[in-house]
Structure 1
Amino acid sequence: MRILVSNDDGISAQGILALVRALRDLGEVVVVAPDRQRSASSHGISIHRRLIPTEVDLGMDNVRAFSLSGTPVDCVKFGIHEFGRSESFDLMVSGINEGRNLATDVLYSGTVAAAGEAALQGVPAMAVSLDGPPFPFEDAASVVRNMVTRLRFRELDADTFLSVNIPAGAVDGPWVVSRIGAEGYRDRFIRHVDEEGQVYYRYAGDVVRNSEDEDADTRVIASGCVSITPLRYRFTNEAAMDTLKTWF
């Protein structure tokens, strides 16, 4: 098995190191991850900046690792292009993210976007996030390893990938198939002034909880279960298409 690994927390993050340690004996592991923290980068790519790869020694056998001066999606594109041409990857795993990616988080998450890019390129993929603190990455990585050996990724539609969220307090909880929840954020921007008198702002959104179905990912996690949500990039609102046609 050939596995491509990436994340959005950077190549030195505890989550990705625990993940690689858990997967390295399943086959050949290639890591291409951002050279720094790239959270909330969504599906952004670098068009006007140079991408610089640097080989990194993670001190693990059967693992090749590179940091890249780009976004998580840049890393996946580069990894598949450079290391998946002669022999394709069987799986791409993104994470383990330090923090959950539930409900509308999936729109902003670089962790989710990395897995989504792999799926767009025909590689089965999963994004993994740990809902903490605390962050027991090694325990969560064991769960991921179990999923990799048990889940039949090839039976999913080619453009479908999985978003997995693991509750820190119940990493061994039941696995539950869930849908995206309705939870969102109320935007807040906090004003600051630096030592030079420059005014700047920091984002500090407040969670807005909405009424949700029993199988919403937010409710599944709250119940102490591992949430597994199948995602795909298909944004067309079919019902709205029919309505729109009546306008003409």
Structure 2
Amino acid sequence: MSGSGRDRLDGRRALVTGGSKGSGKAVVQRLREMGADVYTTARTMPEGYKHPDRFIEADTSTIDGVDAVAARVSEGGALDILVHVVGGSSTPPGGFAVITDEQWLAELNLNLLGAVRLDRALLPAMIEAGSGSVLHFTSIQREMPLYDATLAYAAAKGALRTYSKGLANELAPRGVRVNAISPGGIETEAYEAFVDRLAEGNGLAREEARRSIFDSLGGVPLGRFATTDEIADLVGFLVSDRAAAIVGAEYVIDGGTVPTV
């Protein structure tokens, strides 16, 4: 196959969760640019969305939400590409002792079990077709968890990585590749707004506020976070035929935040 063909996704059906903003939105755009027919899901469709027939309003942290997404996507047959971007944390600060059972379950449902349930619903058709690519978004917090407000999130992402590795070993002989992408900080609109709030709330210049965030992570050698386009570049590669021999891997994209040897 030619180099250009290996970069294309023409004729392939994809689903991206959490595709209404941030990294998910960039991934949806990139896969469309590569030729895929891309469905996406989030709780609310953005106003003026250009592909309303490919948007599924659903909360994939719930069983009913997953069922709704699976039913809609399955109408067209097996998927070729499934990218789980959705995730996040709503736990209040205060450390482990303030995390209630309800908050633990909310974090696990959003960051782990939504992907588990959607895989269980959609991957059998992919296995039957004998080909496909699945990508789970984990987090560098699975390696360097921040205990104050995101411990449950970090634990859920750690579990997602373990699940992803086991699933990869099970499905590779059946033609389905499963991998993970582990982002550090990402330059999104939400992140920029957070920098603004930090600067205003602490009487800091914007660059000082940004530096304080980097310092809390122990430094970011690259000097900046990844952009959503850079996240989408990595996703596009991993779901393409250029990555045909990559199975069970976790690609860290964090500007060097996690110390490695």
TM-score by length of 2: 0.43
In proportion to residue count, which structure has more helix? 2
In proportion to residue count, which structure has more strand? 1
TM-score by length of 1: 0.45
Q: Which has the higher contact order (CA 8 A, sep 6+)?
A: 2
